[in-house]
A and B are shown apart, each in its own frame.
Chain A
Amino acid sequence: MVQGTIDCSEQVIKKLFDNIMDQNQLSVLNQITSRESSEKFADLITSLEEKLKRCGHLKKGNIICAQRDRAVSTIRCLTHFYTCTSVTFATAVSSLDRFLSKVKVQPKYYSCVATACFYLSIKFLDEDENAPSATQLSNLMQHAWKSSDLKRMEMVILQKLDWNLWVETCPSLLKTLCDIIQNFTTSPMLDQLIQKFETCINYSSCAIYSTATLALALIHHSLKESNLMNDAVRQCVLDLHNICQVSDAEFYECQAAVGQVLDNYKNSPKTHPRCLPTPKPFLRPNLVSRPSLYGDSELPAIEENPSLEVVVSESESDIFIKYVDQKYVYGGQSWSRCILPQKSATCSLE
């Protein structure tokens, strides 16, 4: 029965797909009024297809590891620090993933690899003024590696990736998809989608899926959350599934993963993967001091007000002191007595 349902839906989708290809008989396009909009819509679809061609492809299974997630966190931190766009971030992560799928990296080099990916990405995509220098990056990572190491790592990565940095990433796909859906309903907020993407890509459980799958899963999640899912939109989304050539099985897996990650993020944000460990910053000794360590004198402590039962000595003057004490204690003044050791402490005079 399930198979039957699937077959049924497949046929429906195929039909719709054919419909879309035939510009003159677009059933879906009936809702779009003017000729211009329909042309725009067609443009969008074409651009989507082009983008899909440029997406990067990953060999599945190689990149699932905790280190990778931490590396992505590091890249995210760097992105925030240098105020880069999410496209920069996504490109960096994509380069990282593709690199990791080809090469096994030792844990101690992860920080260098992650920073190198970020470095490449920012040089490639962002304005020059923003870009940090290799020395700056090495300084940020507390000199765990040198700037020359970073540059060598850059070359290695470029070689392994065949200098193919210009891949289409999720954020740009999301933009196109949002534009398409905008024609049918109020589009889900692009910023929120990108935010969700950044969260999800941090986990290798989501990163193993293709760009298009992830994008569609995110859109799905967003639409469901904001209750925008009506029939027309659903149809559109199904059409998009076909255009992007996303298989159902993969889509459902991805959707589950995305849902779990985003729930986790909302409810227990502390479980988010931490960044890669860096050495602690070096503290300048003349700036940081513990003043009370130096202020601790060698003078022994003088006890105040010990227990009243112990009598200091048997002399008469002591009885006088006791009497005086009682008088003044009631008077509210603070006279203190003390137990004097018979032998007082000798001190060194030097």
Chain B
Amino acid sequence: MPKKESKKETAVTKNKSSAKTGAKESTENAESEAKKKAQTQNNTTEHPPPTQISKLKFTGPPHIKKDKRQNSSRFNITKNRELQKLPPLKDATPAEREELFIQKLRQCCVLFDFVQDPLSDLKWKEVKRAGLNEMVEFVTHNRGVVTDAIYPEAIQMFSCNLFRALPPSSNPSGAEFDPEEDEPTLEAAWPHLQLVYEFFLRFLESPDFQPNTGKKYIDQRFVLQLLELFDSEDPRERDFLKTILHRIYGKFLGLRAYIRKQINNMFYRFIYETEHCNGIAELLEILGSIINGFALPLKEEHKVFLLKVLLPLHKAKSLSVYHPQLAYCVVQFLEKDPSLTEPVIMGLLKFWPKVHSPKEVMFLNELEEILDVIEPAEFNKIMVPLFKQLAKCVSSPHFQVAERALYFWNNEYILSLISDNASTILPIMFPALYKSKEHWNKTIHGLIYNALKLFMEMNQKLFDDCTQQYKTERQKEKEKNKQREDNWCKVQNLAMGNPQFKQFAYVKSEKSGNPGTPNSLEDLDGDIMANFEKLQKEASERISQLSSALNLGKITKKKGKEKPLLRRKSELPHDISMIRALESHKRSEEYLSTSAESQSAN
């Protein structure tokens, strides 16, 4: 984790406890020097150069143990963190209440450090926590407390606590990221942040909350900053954000289009640029509830959203993280407007995974759900390309994909759709099913039998016709292959008649009678034998070359470029003093000779 190390290193340098590490490395230095001295004393012939090997005042990885995956953004801790405990709200008179509330809110704008020094300012952290807790209760259980003056204070408190730069991801990005395996990194300041979120949510949901007042402060900039927080790695935070954004979308009509546009932008960035965003699932959940509430007929904007945003989301590698939510959105869309079925299914087929088998299973799951709600008229439009893809899945080498595809035959509704269109579908599916009859996996074996049986029951005559056709096609293929083989033999024979044949071809072993199929063992042996002889010749030539070279003693060890002492782990800039020191370091091996040589010298 190079990034982490560098951050920790810089943190170490910032910390005043570097004196401790300084002391440690000086002792290390002393040890190493003693060792070196011991080594040199063993050697009688030559001493190493007198220059000291100056090590840096810099250690390797720090000794900070990282057992809990916690992190926090490097936001500025407030300078003056001293908090005075204020009197409880319930004790205040109605006149004083608002003022006290505002004071408490302002107090909670003080930020504390939870990462570098978790045990600092415990007393004041507790003051803030208690204050937040109290305010949560206060807003939840009292009416008439959310007055006009509270709005700016509450929103300011929320902004300064939460709108921060998120720490860089500690999980590997790109290909190594496994959404199921890698644990999320939790927010270290959660004890406070959780209460801030809760307070804001209660504040938004309070019966006294007036969107008209709130919209002065909850504007586009606020929403944009809120959306940026969705990239947080802490799932609890994302859960709160989801609910808060959902409420904001519901209450602030003027912001709706803006929110939709910004969410689209986040998705586009995810799909086409970074493929990294932790909050896709939560955003899709919100969109699900929005789609649910769409009015009919659907607006063009929403249709474009489905085709240009939701469908390409299926492309991403980390689909498994948000696939349930995505599938829900797609199915909701289709329930609203069935005429979108054709473009959706064609889109899915376009993005069908070619080498990623778990993703194929996910696609098949989604496809079955879409087929569950499809209308027969729509089904007719897409059945040919759909079943062509299903035929490929059934004959997939991955048994789970084949199994999942064959489970479609268990679905009554799909079966009824198939039987209504058997004359089109059966010829497409039949070859794939028939070919996989001898499958090694007994589950698939049984499922293929089941599928064939169902087809036979649907239309016996068609089934028989398909069988006949399949057999004749196989026959034709065999004949074609035989024909091709014969032609090649003819060419071979013609070539053999050419006087220059021996120059260009190696003699094959005698073929016995029938040339047989291209994969006959005799042919292979002949080829192998010829190649083997060739190899032997080459090898013997090489050996002779090498031996001659050795005898002349011209073979010297290639002294390539000296391996750099630097081991590049990451692209981060290196400390210049370190580089300089390593470059100036001279190796002592040149002056040391081996014991064998020293003996021969003596």
- A interface residues (Cβ-Cβ under 8 A, vs B): 73, 76-77, 80-81, 83, 136, 139-140, 142, 195, 199, 265-266, 269-270, 272, 274-275, 278, 280-281, 283-284, 287-297, 299-306, 315, 317, 321, 333-338, 340, 342-347, 349
Query: Do the beta carbons of A295 and B284 come within 8 Å of each other?
Result: yes
Interface window among B120-128, B318-326, B590-598: B318-326
Given contacts A280-B410, A306-B295, A344-B247, contact A292 B212 (CB under 8 A): no
Q: Give the one of A281, A295, A303, A321 with max B CB within 10 A.
A: A295
The answer to whether the Cβ of B524 comes within 8 Å of any Cβ in the partner chain is no
B293: chain A residues within 8 A (beta carbon): 301-304
Interface residues of B in 438-456 (CB under 8 A from A): 442-443, 445-447, 449-450, 452-453, 456
How far apart sit A34 and B536, CA to CA, in the bound complex (Å)? 66
How far apart sit A344 and B209, CA to CA, in the bound complex (Å)? 9
Given contacts A136-B445, A195-B464, A291-B365, contact A281 B290 (CB under 8 A): no
The answer to whether the Cβ of B198 comes within 8 Å of any Cβ in the partner chain is yes
Query: Do the beta carbons of A301 and B212 come within 8 Å of each other?
Result: no
A283: chain B residues within 8 A (beta carbon): 407, 410
Query: Do the beta carbons of B447 and A292 come within 8 Å of each other?
Result: no
State the Cβ distance, A326 to closest chain B Cβ, in Å: 14
Q: What per-residue 1/0 map shows which CB atoms of B305-332 lie under 8 Å from chain A?
A: 0000000000000000001111111111
How far apart sit A302 and B207, CA to CA, in the bound complex (Å)? 18
A139: chain B residues within 8 A (beta carbon): 442, 445-446
- Please give me the residue from chain B that is nearest to A336 by CB atom: B256
Query: Do the beta carbons of B327 and A291 come within 8 Å of each other?
Result: yes
The answer to whether the Cβ of B233 comes within 8 Å of any Cβ in the partner chain is no
Q: Across chains A and B, which 7 residue pairs bring their CB atoms closest together, nearest first?
A: A295-B328, A295-B324, A301-B292, A291-B327, A294-B324, A297-B285, A269-B461
- Please give me the residue from chain A that is nearest to B332 by CB atom: A292
B40: chain A residues within 8 A (beta carbon): none
Q: What per-residue 1/0 map shows which CB atoms of B357-383 lie under 8 Å from chain A?
A: 000011001100100000000000000
- B interface residues (Cβ-Cβ under 8 A, vs A): 198, 201, 204-205, 207, 209, 211-212, 240, 242-243, 246-247, 249-251, 253-254, 256-257, 284-286, 288-290, 292-295, 299, 301, 323-332, 361-362, 365-366, 369, 400, 403-404, 407, 410, 437, 442-443, 445-447, 449-450, 452-453, 456-462, 464, 467
B292: chain A residues within 8 A (beta carbon): 301-302
State the Cβ distance, A226 to closest chain B Cβ, in Å: 17
Given contacts A80-B452, A333-B257, contact A292 B327 (CB under 8 A): yes
How far apart sit A338 and B437, CA to CA, in the bound complex (Å)? 58
Query: Do the beta carbons of B257 and A270 come within 8 Å of each other?
Result: no
Given contacts A281-B446, A290-B369, contact A335 B257 (CB under 8 A): yes
Query: Do the beta carbons of A295 and B327 come within 8 Å of each other?
Result: yes
Taking A278-B453, A281-B410, A336-B253 as given, write out 9 further A-B residue pairs in contact, using a Cβ cutoff of 8 Å, ordered by the A residue number. Answer: A269-B461, A274-B457, A275-B453, A281-B443, A288-B365, A291-B327, A291-B369, A297-B325, A302-B293
A304: chain B residues within 8 A (beta carbon): 290, 293-295
A340: chain B residues within 8 A (beta carbon): 211, 250-251
Query: Do the beta carbons of B452 and A77 come within 8 Å of each other?
Result: yes
How far apart sit A317 and B256, CA to CA, in the bound complex (Å)? 17
How far apart sit A315 and B467, CA to CA, in the bound complex (Å)? 75
How far apart sit A293 and B457, CA to CA, in the bound complex (Å)? 33
How far apart sit A321 and B330, CA to CA, in the bound complex (Å)? 32
- Please give me the residue from chain B that is nearest to A294 by CB atom: B324
Query: Do the beta carbons of A337 and B253 come within 8 Å of each other?
Result: yes
- Please give me the residue from chain A that is nearest to B288 by CB atom: A297
Q: Write 14 A-B pairs (CB below 8 A) sorted by A numbering.
A: A281-B410, A283-B407, A287-B403, A288-B404, A291-B327, A291-B366, A295-B285, A295-B323, A297-B328, A299-B289, A304-B293, A315-B212, A335-B256, A349-B240
Query: Do the beta carbons of A344 and B460 come within 8 Å of each other?
Result: no
A199: chain B residues within 8 A (beta carbon): 460
How far apart sit A299 and B291, CA to CA, in the bound complex (Å)? 12
Query: Do the beta carbons of A281 and B450 come within 8 Å of each other?
Result: yes
State the Cβ distance, A176 to closest chain B Cβ, in Å: 24
How far apart sit A291 and B251, CA to CA, in the bound complex (Å)? 29
- Please give me the residue from chain B that is nearest to A288 by CB atom: B407
How far apart sit A139 and B441, CA to CA, in the bound complex (Å)? 11
B240: chain A residues within 8 A (beta carbon): 349
Q: Which listed residue (A80, A266, A284, A343) contacts B456, Cβ 8 A?
A: A80
- Please give me the residue from chain B that is nearest to A301 by CB atom: B292
